[in-house]
């Protein structure tokens, strides 16, 4: 697929309806590592968060397209979003040099997966910060995942064809087009903090 000259900004990519095929084309051309370990920060998840199973990751069965996401029926992530003004969000965003950010704290129970996918974050980039991000180029979007606890037996996460190992506080980033996902076949909840921003 050829990218149109008119499709320049991240908004253009999102609104095109072709983001999955664009991402696939870019993955085919990708060379080098699929992710980078960029930092290790001391972090603790706030207590008493109200986790809810995210509609894409387990509640809305009409989201399940077996052709696009084989195995999605085994996917489940409970999430909590901390907005830009939350103290933890600001601490992490400042540490990573991000102007505006949201944290999506995820909790995955044993026996569940998050099927490989590409993040679009329509709500963040279009609905929440549409005016501020309308000129943002795809490579200027910021995405990180932080694991607040050491990796335990049965916990997996990967980017492209590469699986990772982690210790508490490790911060990873990846190109926007790189598919990623994970699984918890362990004994306890696995937590992660996904940072999106610009």
Tens digits of residue pLDDT in 96-107: 999 999 999 999
- The whole-angstrom separation of Cα 72 and Cα 54 is 13
Tens digits of residue pLDDT in 91-132: 999 999 999 999 999 999 999 999 899 999 989 999 999 999
Alpha-helix residue ranges (DSSP H) falling in the chain: 10-16, 19-29, 87-96, 122, 130-133
Task: Record the tokens describing residue 111, joined without a space.
Answer: 């026996």
pTM for the structure as a whole: 0.91
Question: What does the domain layout of the chain look like in residue ranges?
Answer: 10-197
Report the CATH superfamily, name and number, of domain 10-197.
Jelly Rolls (2.60.120.10)
| β-pairing verdict for 155-159 and 180-184 | antiparallel
Mean pLDDT in residue range 59-84:
76
Give residue 74's pLDDT band: very low, low, confident or very high (50, 70, 90): confident
Tens digits of residue pLDDT in 138-191: 999 999 999 999 999 999 999 999 999 999 999 999 999 999 999 999 999 999
């Amino acid at each position: 697929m050829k990218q149109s000259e008119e499709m320049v900004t991240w908004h253009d990519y999102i609104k095109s309806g072709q983001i999955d095929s664009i991402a696939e084309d870019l993955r085919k051309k990708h060379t080098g590592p699929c992710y980078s370990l960029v930092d290790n920060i001391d972090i603790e998840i706030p207590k008493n968060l109200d986790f809810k199973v995210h509609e894409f990751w387990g509640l809305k069965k009409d989201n399940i397209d077996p052709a696009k996401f084989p195995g999605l029926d085994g996917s489940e992530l409970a999430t909590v979003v901390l907005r830009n003004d939350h103290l933890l969000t600001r601490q992490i965003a400042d540490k990573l040099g991000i102007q505006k950010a949201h944290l999506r704290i995820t909790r995955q129970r044993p026996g569940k997966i998050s099927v490989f996918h590409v993040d679009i974050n329509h709500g963040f980039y279009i609905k929440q910060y549409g005016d501020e991000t309308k000129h943002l180029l795809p490579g200027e979007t910021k995405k990180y995942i932080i694991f607040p606890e050491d990796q335990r037996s049965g916990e997996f996460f990967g980017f492209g064809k590469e699986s990772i190992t982690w210790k508490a506080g490790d911060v990873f980033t990846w190109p926007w087009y790189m598919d990623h996902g994970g699984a918890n076949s362990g004994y306890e909840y696995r937590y992660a903090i996904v940072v999106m921003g610009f």
